[in-house]
Chain A
Amino acid sequence: MSADTTHILAPQGPYPPGPEMLNAPVDPQWSRESGARLRAVWAQPRGLRYWSAVNNSEVGQWYAMLCFGFMLAAGVLALLMRVQLAVPGNDFLSADRFNQFFTMHGSAMMFLFAVPMFEAIAILLLPAFLGARDMPFPRLSAYGFWCFAIGGTFVFGSVFFGAAPDSGWFMYPPLATQSEGIGADIWLLGLSFIEVSSIAAAVELIVGVLKCRPPGMRINLMPLYAWYVLVVGAMILFAFPPLIAGDFLFELERSFDWPFFDPERGGDPMLWQHLFWIFGHPEVYIIFLPSIAIAAMIVPTAAGRPIVGYSWIVLSAVAVGFLSFGLWVHHMFTTGLPAISLGFFSAASEAVVIPTGVQLFAFLATLMAGRVRMSVPMLYIAGALAIFTCGGLTGIMVALVPFDRQVHDTYFIVAHLHYTLFGGMVFPVMAGVIYFYPFIRKKMMSPRLGKWAFWLVFTGFNLCFLPMHLTGLQGMPRRVYTYPDLDALNWGWLNMLSTAGAFVMAAGFAVFLWDVIRPKGRDAAAPRNPWGGGTLEWTHDVPEDPGWGVRSIPYITSRYPLWQQEGLLERMDAGGCYLGDAPEGLRETLITTVLDARPILVQRVTGPTWITLAAAGFTGGLFILPVFKLYWPALACGAGAMAAILWWLWRDTARPPEAARKPVGLGLSLPLYATGPASVGWWGMFITMLGDMTAFASLVFGFFFYWTAGDDFPLPGAGHGQPVLCGLAAACYGGGWAAMRLARGWNRGGRVGRARLARAAAPVLALAGALAMAGAVWLPGLDPASHVYPAMLWAFAVWTVVHSVPGLVMPLYCLAGSLRGKLTPAHDADLWNCTLYWHFLLITALVSAAVLGPIPRLM
């Protein structure tokens, strides 16, 4: 993406820097003074205000530790379940408690550990890999973290009150839609809330990879970790929204009895299964790929040479990302689908072996081409390989339909999935913790404790899960709280072995935890590059970390700069690369172009604040209070969240800078303001709205799913959306969109008054459109509780009306900006972003209007 001249001023000065510039000496006194200024700017707040930090290194650490905590808590639930299952007919746990425990174990491991752990590690490490000072939207990371902390505590906390969800982490209706108590609502609303933070992190990470690379780091020079983050970020963006759409329908059924999944009123429980697994299968790879990414950083270091097959690995990661969206039906092989579907999804499921195999063999090839030094992280990688290949091979088995019909929902699957997740996630993450610990804490973890932890976890794991293959083959189903003591079953001794293994494994995790948190005050500071790595994170500062990421942002011409670019480290340390100074006292990072990383902009990033915590608290209220049927307080919290976010945007984002350009070092001057596609804010909005569109597309999928699956959709004789109002709604949204487009052009052309008028018209049209949309389902007297058809029409209306609220607020925000001098003809980033939102709102509204009015009349 080239920097469009209408969106940003052109840089001035030489680029790329020549060798003589990179070899020119740096004035030591300037180096000291600028270093002190930079240090002051990036200093983290102290005392209680520490928790107002938004810097990626703080937020990343909190995030990772909290995920680790949830993992241990969910692990304790597993131990309690293993005690219950150790002997047949045990009464250690009641059926009710056991069902809550296994539901929470799965939900927490997935939503509170595996996925957020990826986000935590990526937030913590990605800027370091890219030589960036921070993520592009630090406050978005902080907001996401606080949402996660509030939502995660709420969801997991329900276990202590015996009110936890108890229908399994997959929440199949009708069991879950009809279950009594608030457990299912906690799951739906609490985890939807957490999905918001996942999507926030995905947006942040994608923009980080695309726009925050150091000058010269073309996309084919990125560390593999960044590639994986990009792929996984995109996967989150397209995988989580179907689940959010499903949650939306599900909660409407639970709260208002709209029968989306009730077969008696035209609903279909299979729609949930599709939406859940369209999310659920990519989810597996969302967990697996980032951990492979860690291995992709450790393996070249251990081999002491660049990775072999870089392009193969990148292609494979992208291929896995794509394929993972075409496999979901293999979770549904036993639902009685036609043989042709089964065959297709069986073959697709097997196909994913190829890109996965390419990645593993590329690691082996790297080890083959280098001189391997074994280290504790490599020991964990070896363990990961041993376990993951076993899980992968059983994966090949279960992708075969006849075999899956026997072992589906048995302990064979429990074994299979734990082998893939431990080998594909837990062991690589443990390797990563040990490997990156000196980067994060400036101390080494103990090799002796590391080996103890490894052998305990590895032995315990295999003792626990290897027998489960046989338990499953001998017919033991999953999710049973007890089993009978019959000679005919003979499951007792296998279960006893598994329980014993679980406790050995737990001991290993305890050792590991101790090694992570034990006081290391007396340990020597870690060497700066203890493993001899070649990538930019090892340019970090030792023994302290001033929070600035890198002293100055380097010019990169290779994949392993520390191995391949001589003198780079010294120059970075002297502050002699880019942005080595902070004369204005503001936090800044460089923005570069997407493909070839030409520097185009100095981005002012936001600093410590409490507003993100307040926004997360209010957002929490919006999601959590409806669990207790407190709808009005929830709406008040929603308004509070919006006010907090507006305050934060107004105060600290897209403010016109004090100068058009500033010198950034090496003779280059870069602009301080960008708008449209040249700015990170536009990319953030665009990527967020792609996710939103995916959720909406899932609703549309649902509409046509009912049409193809049932013969009473649209319900014969039922009314449709009121056609005149449907047309009026479409016209209003079209008018609002046109007003925003015109306002953008007029403002840029200096016709400020006219632009303000258009911006004042857009909210009125949004309101009118929303009223017409609501009227279109209200006036014909469509009763959403009577049948899935009217319920679906109502769902489209609700979705569009809710999306009109930002569509209404945004033009007013721009109007206020224009009146207060924040938005001018030359500084119109807010207007571009809001207009971008309106593009998507228009699509949503037009499709909804078509689905309400004309389409069903044609069916």
Chain B
Amino acid sequence: MRRAAGVLWAMLLSGPAAAARQSVIHPAGEDAALVAGLFWWLLGGAVLLWLLMNGLFLYLTRLNPVPLSRRLAEMLIIGGGVLLPTVVLAVLLGVTLQKIPMHMRPGDGLRVHVTGEEWWWRVEYWPEGADAPIVSANEIRLPAGQRTDVTLGSARVIHSFWIPALGGKLDMFPGRETRMSLLPQIPGTYRGQCAEFCGLSHALMAFEAVVMEPADFQAWLTAQAAPALPPADARAARGRAVFFAEGCGGCHAIRGTAATAGAGPDLTHLGSRTTLASATLPMTEAALAEWIADPESAKPGALMPGYGHLSGAELGDLAHYLKGLR
């Protein structure tokens, strides 16, 4: 009943619930659902207290401006200022203090390690017992119904990792690892975003968070672990040649090729992601070509140099090759 009322409220306030993919009040995970449920209680209580306080003021100044007894006035200070908040706060703290360690509970085996970069996300999947990670970037996939450990770090400045639909945020520090865990419940595609100001393109540091059925997730992870597909057609082969001629492998890795560098995002399965440039552009060949030609126009301060000197055909070929890396 309460949840139904909450959903109704949320729909009234924000349009169709299905569309809100980065929303605290449209939870899809255990931790987020707890907070969303708590919020409706808090909101109700807050509205009530607000009306009480301001109603009293209105009554005293406008409706009944005659002096009342001093004794009553002093009781108001003690009752309203001391007793009422003590009771309310005791209840609130009693409920929430015990929930604080919830996001630190150990996971069910899988660990995802995310490193904040400027301005993208380096993602490593560590299945239980693995001795090397499966590397990806700018997209997080999680199995539904399982608690996954999330460990966080950063390359240079502080970022904050946040998927509102799944749970609270946690900061990412250089030189220090922070950890939490998430338990997604409803499969779907959600959106996360950096929540700690991290410089010029902080606004453009987002990612897609895909929650999958456990079996689908396993299949996907197995595919991600595989080396990159060879070029499927002549155009892709030309694009691959451009990739190596331009020295893209100096920063990026495409597993199964000579490109093994780790400065930029891993591109082995770039084409399988839903977005480009940490959820700034759609994953299309046109967007890829546009991005490669001039990354700074899409993301101010991006460290990747522009390749505007390439011809349209070369850019198209390169984009075609990369899009084919599924």
Contact = CB atoms under 8 A, between A and B. Distances in A.
A750 interface: no
B104 A357 contact: no
Contact of B53 (A385, A400, A487): A385
B50 A487 contact: no
Interface stretch (A192-200, A366-374, A620-628, A637-645): A366-374
A474 B23 contact: yes
B276 to A, nearest CB: 13
B9 to A, nearest CB: 11
B203 A365 contact: no
A372 B85 contact: no
Interface string B78-115: 01111011101100110011011111100000000000
A410 interface: yes
Interface stretch (B155-163, B235-243, B259-267): B155-163
Contacts of A372: 60-61, 65
Given A347-B93, A389-B49, A309 B14 contact: no
Interface in A154-205: 167-168, 172, 174-175, 178-179
B193 A475 contact: yes
Nearest to B118: A175
A19 B79 CA distance: 42
Contact of A367 (B60, B97, B196, B200): B60
A369 B178 CA distance: 55
Contacts of B53: 360, 364, 385, 389
A787 interface: no
B175 A264 contact: yes
A174 B157 contact: yes
Contact of B25 (A336, A390, A474, A479): A474
B89 A351 contact: yes
A354 B76 CA distance: 13
B81 A361 contact: yes
Contact of A174 (B58, B85, B158, B167): B158
B67 to A, nearest CB: 6
Interface string B20-33: 11111100000110
Contacts of B5: none
A175 B198 contact: yes
A396 B42 CA distance: 9
Interface string B47-84: 00110011011101110011111101110110111101
Contact of A365 (B77, B178, B195): B77
Nearest to B99: A402
A175 B32 contact: no
Contact of B60 (A172, A364, A484): A364
B168 interface: yes
A390 B42 CA distance: 12
A354 to B, nearest CB: 5
A174 B156 contact: yes
A335 interface: yes
A167 B197 contact: yes
B304 interface: no
Given A353-B89, A406-B168, A480-B202, A346 B97 contact: yes
Contacts, number: 274
A343 B50 contact: no
B42 A308 contact: no
B35 interface: yes
B175 A263 contact: yes
A397 B20 contact: no
A393 B99 CA distance: 21
Contact of B191 (A351, A385, A397, A488): A488
Interface in A782-818: none
B147 to A, nearest CB: 16
Contacts of A369: 67-70, 73
A354 B85 contact: yes
Contacts of A365: 73-74, 76-77
A361 B156 contact: no
B300 interface: yes
Nearest to A354: B85
A489 B191 contact: yes
A342 B49 CA distance: 26
Contact of B203 (A270, A409, A483): A483
A402 B42 CA distance: 13
Interface in B4-21: 13-15, 19-21
Interface in A341-396: 342-343, 346-347, 350-351, 353-354, 357-362, 364-372, 374, 378, 382, 385-386, 389-390, 393-394, 396
Nearest to B50: A389
A87 to B, nearest CB: 14
B68 A368 contact: yes
Contacts of A335: 171, 173, 178
Nearest to B98: A343
B286 interface: no
A118 B20 CA distance: 43
Contact of B195 (A179, A371, A410, A474): A410
A396 B89 contact: yes
Contacts of A309: 73-74, 77
A474 B56 CA distance: 33
A401 B173 contact: no
B273 to A, nearest CB: 16
Nearest to A374: B61
B34 interface: yes
A177 to B, nearest CB: 9
Contacts of B199: 99, 167, 175, 179
A482 B203 CA distance: 6
Nearest to A379: B61
Looking at A308, A367, A386, A472, the one whose CB has the most chain B CB atoms below 10 A away is A367
A393 B168 contact: no
A478 interface: yes
Contacts of B70: 308, 369
Contact of A405 (B74, B103, B191, B193): B103
B189 to A, nearest CB: 8
Contact of A397 (B46, B73, B80, B301): B46
B251 interface: no
Contacts of B252: none
B54 A477 contact: no
B64 to A, nearest CB: 9
B73 to A, nearest CB: 4
A342 B57 contact: no
A354 B86 contact: yes
Nearest to B103: A405
B104 A477 contact: no
A57 B42 CA distance: 47
Looking at B73, B82, B89, B201, the one whose CB has the most chain A CB atoms below 10 A away is B73
B266 to A, nearest CB: 24
A350 B77 contact: no
Given A389-B54, A409-B160, A474-B20, A357 B84 contact: yes
A61 interface: no
Interface string A262-298: 0110001110000000000000000000000000000
A462 interface: no
A167 B158 CA distance: 12
A408 interface: yes
B141 interface: no
Top 3 closest pairs, chain A to chain B, by CB: A405-B168, A263-B175, A475-B22
Interface of B: 13-15, 19-25, 31-32, 34-35, 38-39, 42, 46, 49-50, 53-54, 56-58, 60-62, 65-70, 72-74, 76-77, 79-82, 84-86, 88-89, 92-93, 96-97, 99-104, 156-158, 160, 162, 164, 167-171, 173-176, 178-180, 191, 193-204, 206, 279-280, 300-301
Given A368-B76, A488-B19, 17 more contacts: A174-B174, A269-B173, A316-B81, A346-B100, A347-B93, A354-B86, A361-B80, A369-B69, A374-B61, A389-B53, A397-B42, A400-B38, A400-B92, A406-B24, A406-B169, A408-B195, A477-B194
8 contacts: A99-B202, A336-B180, A353-B89, A359-B81, A385-B57, A397-B39, A475-B20, A477-B194
